[in-house]
Amino acid sequence: MRPVTYMLLLGVFPVSAEVEFESAVRPILQRYCVECHGGDKVKGKVDFSGIRTEEDVDTRFELWETVVEMVSAGEMPPEDKPQLPEKEKQLVLDWYEERLAAPVTARPGFFQPRRLSGPEYRNTLRSLFGFDLEVVIAEAQQTVAGEKSLVLKLLPKDPPGASGFVNDTHGAALSPVIWEQYSFLSEAALEKLFAPKQRSQLGELMGVELPVGWRLEDLSGEQVEKLLRRFVSRAFRRPVPESRHMAVLDRVRGKSGQELLKALKFEMKAVLLSPPFLYRGLLMPGKPGLQQPVDSFELAERLSYFLWEDRPDDELTELAQKGLLSDERVLVDQVERMLKVPAARSLAESFGVQWLGIANLDELISNPITHHALRTQPVLFLDYLFTEDRPVMEFIDSRTTFINTGVSGFYGADRGRMKLHPKPKGIERQTTPFGRFTLEEATWRGGILTMPGILTMNRGPIQRGTWLLRRVLGERLGEPPADIPPVKPSPPGEKLTFRERFERHRSDLSCARCHEKIDPVGFALDGYDVNGRFLLQGNGGKGRPRIDTSGKLPSGETFKDYAGLKQIFLTSQRKRIVRNAVERTLSYALCRKVTRNDYPVIDGITEKIVERNGTWKDLFVEVVKSLPFRETIIRQPVRE
């Protein structure tokens, strides 16, 4: 609902006088809001204490829609707190209408170098050296492999940034613990590189083929120079000035034997611990205070870390060197090429898993066989959508899925068409390969929302409704109050369903606003039990209570079950779902939270995808071609 509508409901009208945030609105927040939403006390994850300027307002633009809704409805401040006088309430609404509801112009974000995330660092190290650092794990045939990467085992997990993604590391400090692990991992990588088994990787880094029988004792000054020149440029992901090469080479010249090898390892470790390797963007040239295209090498990095979560390969680097990535056709060709290689699976394993919260299954499912089945299925489906040019809305409804014996029992009669995998003698349970599968009988499945793993990690209608609204529809819901009482059991003599008991529970006006949105979509999925099994075959038959999965959306649209709700998603709610997918993809690609200035770009891409029934590849191409992806603004230096 637009703010003007709220004003009319209040019996007031917008005024034309300009309202300034810092002088007019912020003092109101300070008087009536900060006590509960700022400083040491932050209720509902709403913190006004850090919002001091107009620029701060833009970074939290999505917050104000909820604020205006709550203030207009009289729900905030709470009844037991001093209330906003009508004049000051009007002032906030006028400011919102002028400042935040006004049209905005597309503008790229400010340039911010950021540290490589854990997965990015692992992949970058692996592609730089040509091998992975792994730990040895003893595996039984019937168990699921644990984490093999030494990098991911040692590095602390990056917390999600403001965008909700772990590649948003702008606010993540380089702690002493991380620094120590970087040092250890650098030494481990170098020791492996110079081991006899890695002669081919060492030769590749030198740019030569080492002869059979070559030993470290044969290392020459010429080979060291070739190695360092190639290594430094590859590590920094762009050519470096000759002066930088000379500074490194001067420190190894005149040495030989073990002394030369020791000096070489020292210089290579220094590169691996240097900011230009650990951070993205430190070496990009630019003019402060101006909106400008990012340079070719930064564009290559943005593309490769978006689609591969890894450094640019030789083809991307060569195109950047020639300045060809500024050609839109070349850029599109690269997206198409990059989606066809195995590295593109990171889109599903990283972007998709984080967007949908699939990693929540890691804490819920302790059985490794079950965990592997429930967690792998949605990732394979997302990889299929992302890399095989499938329509964006196939995310919601698809006859294609991926099945192994661990999830086959959820698919009814379709299970009979599955490919069987013989079980080795003496093994009771084992993981089996997934195969692509076309649904015929299991009409209650299809798309990601009814996959067993998704339903299992969201147990119950409220959790499912909240997840669906936030993750799929892009609804911004506030956090529930901390003092919500539990749902009461049925009164004596009455046999009420959970839905009927919950109707009584949600009668509290402070809860009803969100539950009007959550409950219909949540209870539509009540036809699946907590483990994701379908319950509605023969609904209400053989003495079983009938499950009510009908609902009415705030828009007035009604449905009798999830199949009806899905049709609404595919029609009237289609644009909303596509827009959320666009916003989440752009945020992940930019490694930051979107701002108001990204909205015109998001709206433009959404229109194209909706009009053309666009695919995920179309969406990725549009993101890569977009203004915020290809341009930036470099801040003016702060003067003392």
Q: How far apart are CA 167 and CA 632, in angstroms?
A: 18
| Chain segment 333-356, per-residue pLDDT in tens | 999 999 999 999 999 999 999 999
- In the block, tokens 């990725």 appear at 620
What DSSP string describes 82-138? Answer: PPPPHHHHHHHHHHHHHHTSS-----PPBP--EEPPHHHHHHHHHHHHTS--B----
pLDDT computed for residue 50 by the predictor? 73
**CB contact at 8 A, 605 and 316:** no
Q: Is the pLDDT of residue 137 over 60?
A: no
Provide the residue type at 163 as one letter. S
* Percent of residues, the chain, with pLDDT higher than 70: 82
Q: How far apart are CA 69 and CA 75, in angstroms?
A: 9
CA Rg value for the chain: 28
| Chain segment 507-560, per-residue pLDDT in tens | 655 566 677 888 899 999 999 999 999 987 666 545 566 788 999 998 899 999
Q: Give every CB contact of residue 93 below 8 A, 6+ residues apart in sequence.
A: 3, 6, 7, 10, 12, 14, 68, 71, 72
Q: How far apart are CA 225 and CA 220, in angstroms?
A: 9
- Helix H or strand E segment including 559: strand 558-559
Reported confidence tier of residue 8, pLDDT bands at 50, 70, 90:
very low
Q: CB atoms < 10 A from the CB of 517, how many?
A: 17
Average pLDDT over residues 144-153: 80
Q: Give every CB contact of residue 42 below 8 A, 6+ residues apart in sequence.
A: none
Average pLDDT over residues 73-85: 71
- Answer with the residue of higher pLDDT: 518 or 383: 383
| Chain segment 17-44, per-residue pLDDT in tens | 456 777 878 887 777 777 777 766 666 6
- Residue 274 token pair: 């240097």
| Chain segment 208-255, per-residue pLDDT in tens | 999 888 999 999 999 999 999 999 999 999 999 999 999 999 999 999
pLDDT computed for residue 32 by the predictor? 75
Give alpha helix (H) positions in 217-339: 221-236, 242-250, 257-272, 275-278, 296-307, 314-321, 328-338
C-alpha dihedral, 363 to 366 to 369 to 372, nearest 10°: 10
- How do 435-438 and 631-633 pair as beta strands? unpaired
Q: How far apart are CA 140 and CA 285, in angstroms?
A: 52
pLDDT computed for residue 140 by the predictor? 47
| Chain segment 274-287, per-residue pLDDT in tens | 999 999 999 999 89
pLDDT computed for residue 143 by the predictor? 45
Q: Which three-class secondary structure state does DSSP give residue 57? A: helix
- Answer with the residue of higher pLDDT: 167 or 81: 167
Average pLDDT over residues 417-440: 78
The per-residue pLDDT of the chain, averaged, comes to 86
Q: Is the pLDDT of residue 15 over 50?
A: no
Q: How far apart are CA 567 and CA 557, in angstroms?
A: 11
Q: How far apart are CA 472 and CA 631, in angstroms?
A: 28
The pTM assigned to this predicted structure is 0.86
Q: How far apart are CA 254 and CA 1, in angstroms?
A: 74
- Residue 635 token pair: 């801040």
